[in-house]
Amino acid sequence: MSTVDLTGQVALVTGGAGGIGAAVVRRLAKLGARVAVVDLNAAGAQRLASAAGGIAIVGDVTDPSVMPEAVAQVEKELGRLDIVHLNAGIGGGQAGVDDALDVVRYRKLVGVNVDHVVYGLCAAVPALRRQGGGKIVITSSLAGLAAMPSDPLYTLTKHAVVGYVRAAGEALAADGIVVAALCPGFVDTLLLGAAKEEFDAVSFPLLTPSDIADALQAVLTDAEPGEAWIIQPGGQASAYRFRGVPGVGGGQMPPDVVLGRR
């Protein structure tokens, strides 16, 4: 695993009070960073923040005002912002392919998995520019790269995140800001819910939150702008290689056309 010294740097992690977020908070603190933990769970956020030598910020990341306020608080209390991990996420909980769509649950899913990512990135960019650059890592999923028929709505949100990362990564590269995505397989967290028993019954290998923290550490040192890194049990995290968009005669589309510049 690549080594990195984050002494003197400040990080912000959403969904940081448990699961993947908690593992990342602990890892960043171990590497020397002070960490701001953003979560709805006030007690959990405070506990992790105290251990990380950082601060706890309690808020609903689907509220458009929360991420700008969180970034402002981080700069005020910790003096700077260098690393942002937009990690908060929830499962779909419904198919979304029939007439029985629960719109309230759907909007919550999109609010956490997509809106918070946009709010968080837009809020963080000015702070990172003030430091001459930085890193934004967003938790997506393998469902952001391949269809997950058991949860089409979750698949929708995670595909959206990957597309956003790929575009934002190029758009912000000139500012020295690296935007990348983590795309893990199934991780042993509370998000699995009742499916955990089914996985255990067939001895299905699951990732641990520590595995994702390992991957994030690798991304901080090795990722290129716009990359989506795959993490699976027993393997090393690595960047997914996207194929080019096919053009006339089977060739690739010219970059300017792909990027909408013509």
Q: Is 240 a catalytic residue?
A: no
Q: Which residues pair with 177 in a beta bridge?
A: 134
Enter the tokens of residue 147: 């269809």
Residues 6+ apart with CB under 8 A from 52: 25, 26, 28, 29, 33, 34, 35, 37
Residue with tokens 């006030």: 42
- Cα(100)–Cα(15) distance, rounded to whole angstroms? 29
- Please identify which of the residues 106, 119, 154, 240 carries the catalytic annotation: 154
At residue 158, what are phi and psi to the nearest 5 degrees?
Answer: -75, -30
Q: Which residues pair with 139 in a beta bridge?
A: 182
What length does the chain have? 262
Contact 56, 45 (CB under 8 A): yes
Contact 114, 160 (CB under 8 A): yes
List the end-to-end C-alpha distance of the chain, in Å, as a whole number: 42
Pairing outcome for strands 228-231 and 238-239:
antiparallel
At residue 56, what are phi and psi to the nearest 5 degrees?
Answer: -105, 135
Task: Supply the residues annotated as catalytic.
Answer: 154
